[in-house]
Structure 1
Amino acid sequence: MSLNELKLRPATPADVPVLFELIKALAEYEKLSDAVTGNLASLETHLFGESGSDRSNFRPIAEVIIAEFADKPVGFSLFFHNFSTFLTQPGIYIEDLFVLPEYRGQGIGKQLISYVAQLAVSRNCGRLEWSVLDWNEPAIGFYQHIGASVLDEWRICRVTGDSLSNLASGQKL
């Protein structure tokens, strides 16, 4: 495979079904298939607005870049803006970066992350961030190779489901 044959482009509403299949492939790789509880309609609504509605004033929750090789979707990066109070600048957080296993090791992941980094620079963002599972040594090595710092001193905190509802209502957990 030649990287000259690789095409990176923003996702469109027509990409939602294939994107959802890539998300399920990512979940399978991460041994988290049971965690995929979303659906196509919800994905489309949050990325592009409700199907059939006027999308002209819609502000997406997240953005997606699709990687295609020979017109076949082989990977994606889903990301959104965040904000650094210390830098007083926006940033970009990559929620997911995924390349199908048979296409790994060919520079596609690096091209995807570079594309998002270019967006971050063009949007005057102060940083680009993402998380990686602690057992995913190949990904950790890749990220360190491209210049990322793995911050061992930070931990992700997450509230979901009933705990989120209880917290929102002020109930003790």
Structure 2
Amino acid sequence: MIRPATPEDVPVIVDFIRELADYEKAVEKAIATVDQLHAALFSSQPALYAHMACDDATGEPVGFAIWFLNFSTWRGVH
């Protein structure tokens, strides 16, 4: 199941980010905090958006996707 991330998911997202950084042998570079991601995802004008991939049987998160809107300076629009 894919669903929008909630504020309660932010610690899980940070854990996933750190797990990937560890796998890539770059854990010291993964310095994003729960507070930073929470602000980026859930402020009144979010910089990021996230969706969670969850196990259908248990509902447990198994992955995530983070995305953001891009702005075209040539066209002057998102």
TM-score computed with the length of structure 1 as normaliser: 0.40
Give 1:26 shift.
1.6
| 2:54 maps to which of 65, 68, 82 | 68
- Return the letter of the residue paired with 1:78: I
Which runs of 5 or more residues in structure 2 are unaligned?
A: none
Which runs of 5 or more residues in structure 1 are unaligned?
A: 1-6, 50-57, 91-173
Question: Highest Rg: 1 or 2?
Answer: 1
- Return the letter of the residue paired with 1:21: D
Q: In 2, Cα distance between the equivalents of 1:65 and 1:39?
A: 18
Q: In 1, Cα distance between the equivalents of 2:69 and 2:13?
A: 20
1:94-122 CA distance string (max 9 Å, x none): xxxxxxxxxxxxxxxxxxxxxxxxxxxxx
Matched-pair identity in %: 39
Higher RCO, 1 vs 2 (CA within 8 Å, ≥6 residues apart): 2
Give 1:47 shift.
1.0
Query: 3-state DSSP class of the match of 2:31?
Result: coil
Write the mapping of 1:13-162 to structure 2, written as runs, cut at 5 A.
13-49=7-43, 58-69=44-55, 70-86=58-74, 88=75, 89-90=77-78
1:8-64 CA distance string (max 9 Å, x none): 011010111111111111212222211012211111111113xxxxxxxx0111001
TM-score computed with the length of structure 2 as normaliser: 0.83
Large movers: runs of 4+ above 4 Å? none
How many residue pairs end up in the alignment?
Answer: 75
